[in-house]
Structure 1
Amino acid sequence: MRILTRSPHSLLARLLALLAALTLTVQPAMAQGFSVLRDAETEALLQDMVDPLAEAAGLGEGAVEIVLINDPSINAFVAGGQRIFVHSGLINAADNANEVQGVLAHELGHITGGHINRFSEGAGNASRITLLSALLAVGAALAGGGEAAMGVLAAGQQAAMGSFLAFSRTQEASADAAGAQYLSDAGISGRGSIAFFEKLQSYEFRRNISQDNDREYSRTHPLSGNRIARLREDYEADPAWNTPSDPRLEERFQRAKAKLYGFLAPPARTLNAFPAYMTGAPARYARAYAYHKEARVEEALAEVNALIEMDPTDPYFLELKGQILLESGHVEEALPPLREATRLTGSNPLIASILGHALIATEDPANFDEAEAVLRAAVGRDRENPFAWYQLGVVYGQRGDIPRARLASAEQQIMQGNPQGALVNAQAAENGLPTGSPDWIRAQDVALQARAILERQRDRN
């Protein structure tokens, strides 16, 4: 048998450590470590969905970027700047484009309200409360009141959390109101917004999350039922309430949703959700991906050829055909549909990257000039495209242009979170490139960026 004791001095040491930690600057949590989904068709759709809302918010067309995250949870968020991150689970849960636009309008409310920049305001208030309680607890500990010190500290932490949660709920309510105004100004119905909140409320019911108003104080967001009640009256009085959604936008959404499902879900689940008797474009899209993932090439091509028969000039159908052929080893056959898809989309960087990859995969030096031109144009329009940078590095390597191959590798690695590798390659590129050339200057820029990231990592450590 042992008797465990806690001396006032050990408690004091813990309190002083907490006190030191609280003097650090509180920063908003940023999105890290997530997997981004890139697709030309889906990105174009999401941009067309947010642009009228961004204009209504006074930000302008093209000012807000949507980033699709591979995450099954039903969520969307902003993390600084004018980017909205949307989880794939939200797309899967939404029944139509109007519901997603309701969410995008809400997130725009966070952007225009500067809520990320004001995060430190709410965190700072909470930190000050905790700091005061820690100081009082230190005083109690010095006086020998160990249990009293812990009680003061616990009460202070509870008060600080309450302060922060209240601040968060206020921001969410503000974003709800702003989003409703942007939908109205854009002439878009709020029906989707209400429907999505009802989905969230049903989810909370299924998870046995209390809907008691007395428990709202413990939440970061207002209760879904209260949000619906506050918004419904305004939405129903708005002239846009009965405005139908753009049918073409809804059609595109159903295609993109099915495409995403087919890409992410296990093939058996996809084929169960989209059985063979369903012959619309969304179902064929989903099945094409399911068959392709199972290496059932003929069946995948049958689905995509049926899509092309529906619309021979649809670039995304042609892109998918080229991708299936390329990844199935039919490289030469993949070139015509990929070239046509690239042409029809005005050299969309994502589609052009696949074309560049196919040209390299022919292993025919006669195709390398075209591959370089296509890939340089792709990274010129979309620098955040590690796949294109990798392929461009392969082209340079095949042609013996090692300095530019190292620069392309540095660009790829800086985007994939490897600053040390990026720095090594950027320095090697700089040493081999003509002094003062655009690529030489870019190598210096990448090296500076990599050093800055490494310094921040060292500071955090």
Structure 2
Amino acid sequence: MLCLAAATSLPLQTAWIGAAQAQETVPQKGPQTIQDTEIEALLKDYTRPILKAAGLAQQNVEVVLISSRAFNAFVADGRRIFVNTGALVDSVTPNQIIGVLAHETGHIAGGHLARMREQIAGAQTMAIVAMLLAAGGVAAGAASGMNGRDVGNVGAAAVSAPQEMIRRSLLSYQRGEESAADRSAVKYLNATGQSAKGMLETFERFQNDQLFISQRVDPYVLSHPMARERIGALEQLAKSSPYYEVKDPPALQARHDMMRAKLIGFMERPEAVARRYPPSDTSMAAQYARAISAYRFGNVESSIRQIDALIAKEPSNPYFLELKGQALLEAGRAGEAIAPLRKAVQMTNGAPLIRAMLGQALVQSGNQANTQEAIRELIQATQRDPNSPSAWRSLALAYGRSGDTANADLASAQSYFASGDFKLGRELAARARMKFPQGSPGWLKADDLVNFKPPASAANQR
């Protein structure tokens, strides 16, 4: 795993991908991922020119959000960039997070992951050879008449010394790849007419964080160069660019401010939101954060009034309508949520997360007349985003209300597969298969699920 994070000598944890809306938690191993249409649209706009400059425009690279307050981003494969929500909240300007995304793009374009795997494979071979040599040395020591304690001490030193050398060699290689990704990032920013100042500001943040440890840490056991070294290596290159003083467009800055406000409103306690966005702050971002916080902590009527005020100011903003629908739906007022969610779906060209929420509202409204519309909306939502457990569960409920038990069981099976519970998913798929005519599309899909073989790592979760 290659990342932008501040230098660390600790192992990095691999991310497990699961589907979750901003307000939905799915039990899983590793970090929790979240989905949000507004934030994902903004990050796509950030990455699109960078990926084009890197020659990756056709690779379908996506940005995945990790629910973590730490400032970090990383790549674990060649098609996904993982970004912590903490990095988005702490990045004051679009340029700062664009620099982060450019750095991670440098890892993908440079093939660093594949080469790192080769380095690790080579290191494993070296480790095996070192252990065999160490074992031979211990045996020779015993044969020469050394006492047990001396043989043990020599053996421990013989085993640990080569392993430490191998570890340092790998870390040195990784530091080199991080520096290469920094240089690539500046290249992509220049190619897109953007400043590298945001990158330097990020490294200055890391440098401030490292001040208290920099005198006590061995730089040769770190996975990344020290921040002061990264600043020194890039400062001249960044400042020599004709785009160094280029500012982010005001409209893009406004979208960035709204993204940060949204995350803060969802992730922080009301008192923390109030400190960041006091009543005296009348900006749209501040109103957005306070409205979200009000709905999250039970003051639904106040939240709806605040959201309606936002809609009055920007009636073409679909995410205000989405928020209103979400607040009403979670307050048990599903029937009232349908109208704003329908409009938000239209404005976003059928964004699957919003469409799934509309389907859920139609199901929970209790109006049988809404059942077929719910099925249509949820089928389209799951076709575009098949990894949402909640959308599949709502579809199962809608099919159940229409009396279609075969498709209800099949949708339930899909919901468990999306959650990672393959055992129960296969059981429900087997039950659904028995209800479909053999060879029909539903039967074939159920049969595929019954015979699905999950990866060993995923199968071990259950």
Q: What is the TM-score of this pair, normalised by structure 2? A: 0.88
**Contact 1:125–1:163 (Cα < 8 Å) also in 2:** no
| Alignment correspondent of 1:219 | 222
**Residue identity matched to 2:100:** V
CA–CA distance in 1 between the matches of 2:323 and 2:204?
35
Alignment partner of 1:41 is 2:38: yes
Aligned residues of 1:173 and 1:222 also touching (Cα < 8 A): yes
Q: Cα 1:376–1:53, aligned 2, differ >3 Å: closer, same or farther?
A: same
Query: Does the aligned pair in 1 maintain the 2:178–2:225 contact within 8 Å?
Result: yes
Q: 1:439 to 1:113 in 2, by over 3 A?
A: farther
Please name the residue that 2:156 is paired with.
150
Specify every segment of 5 or more residues in structure 1 that has no aligned partner in the other structure, as ranges.
1-27
Distance across 2 between alignment mates of 1:175 and 1:437: 50
Compute the displacement of 1:289 (Å).
1.5
| Distance (Å, rounded) in 1 between the aligned partners of 2:183 and 2:438 | 55
**CA shift at 1:379, angstroms?**
0.9
Q: Tell me, which stretches of 5 or more residues in structure 2 are unaligned?
A: 1-11, 17-29, 143-150
Is 1:105 the equivalent of 2:102? yes
User: 2:214 maps to what in 1?
Assistant: 210
Partner residue of 2:360?
357
CA RMSD of aligned residues (A): 2.0
- Following superposition, the deviation at residue 193 of structure 1 comes to 1.0
- Map 1:1-400 → 2, pairs under 5 A: 30-32=14-16, 33-60=30-57, 63-143=60-140, 144=142, 145-205=151-211, 208-210=212-214, 215-400=218-403
| Alignment partners' CA distance in 2, 1:110 and 1:47 | 18
Between 269-278 and 157-166, the greater mean CA deviation after superposition: 269-278
Structure 1 CA distance, aligned partners of 2:215 and 2:233? 15
**Structure-2 change in CA distance of 1:123 and 1:62 (3 Å):** closer
For residue 455 of structure 2, what is the amino acid of its counterpart? I
Q: Distance in 2 between matches of 1:317 and 1:77?
A: 31
Shift of 1:130: 2.0
User: Do residues 436 (structure 1) and 439 (structure 2) align?
Assistant: yes
Q: Which structure exhibits the higher relative contact order, with contacts defined as CA atoms closer than 8 Å and separated by 6 or more residues?
A: 2
Secondary structure of the residue aligned to 1:243 is: coil
| Greater displacement, 40-49 / 406-415 | 406-415
Aligned residues of 2:420 and 2:458 also touching (Cα < 8 A): no
Alpha-carbon distance between aligned partners in 2 of 1:434 and 1:81, rounded to the nearest angstrom = 41
The CA deviation string for residues 172-192 of structure 1, in whole angstroms up to 9 with x for no partner, is: 111111111111111111111
Letter in 1 for 2:121: G
Letter in 2 for 1:152: A
Distance 1:119 1:67 in 2: 22
Does the aligned pair in 2 maintain the 1:47–1:62 contact within 8 Å?
no
Cα deviation code 1:57-104 (max 9, x no counterpart):
111168221111111111111111311110011111111111000000
Question: What is the deviation of 1:443?
Answer: 2.3
How far does the alpha carbon of each residue in 1:197-216 deviate from its partner, in whole angstroms, 9 at most, with x for none? 111111112xx22168x932
User: 2:412 corresponds to which residue?
Assistant: 409
1:432-454 CA distances to partner (integer Å, 9 max, x unpaired)? Answer: 223333333322333333x2335
Q: SS at 1:239's partner residue? A: coil
CA contact (8 A) 1:211 1:223 kept: no
Q: Distance in 2 between matches of 1:456 and 1:35?
A: 15
Task: Sort the Cα spacing of 1:80 and 1:346 in 2 relative to 1 into closer, same or farther, 3 A.
Answer: same
Do the aligned residues in 1 keep the contact of 2:375 with 2:398 (CA within 8 Å)?
yes
Q: Residue 145 of structure 2 aligns with which residue?
A: none
Any idea what SS the aligned residue of 2:64 has?
strand
Counterpart AA for 2:75: V
SS of the equivalent of 1:63 reads coil
Identity among equivalent positions (%) equals: 37
Contact 2:355 2:377 in 1 (8 A): yes
Preserved CA contact (<8 Å) 2:410 2:432: yes
Deviation of 1:456 (Å): 6.9
The CA distance in 2 between the partners of 1:455 and 1:428, in whole Å, is 26
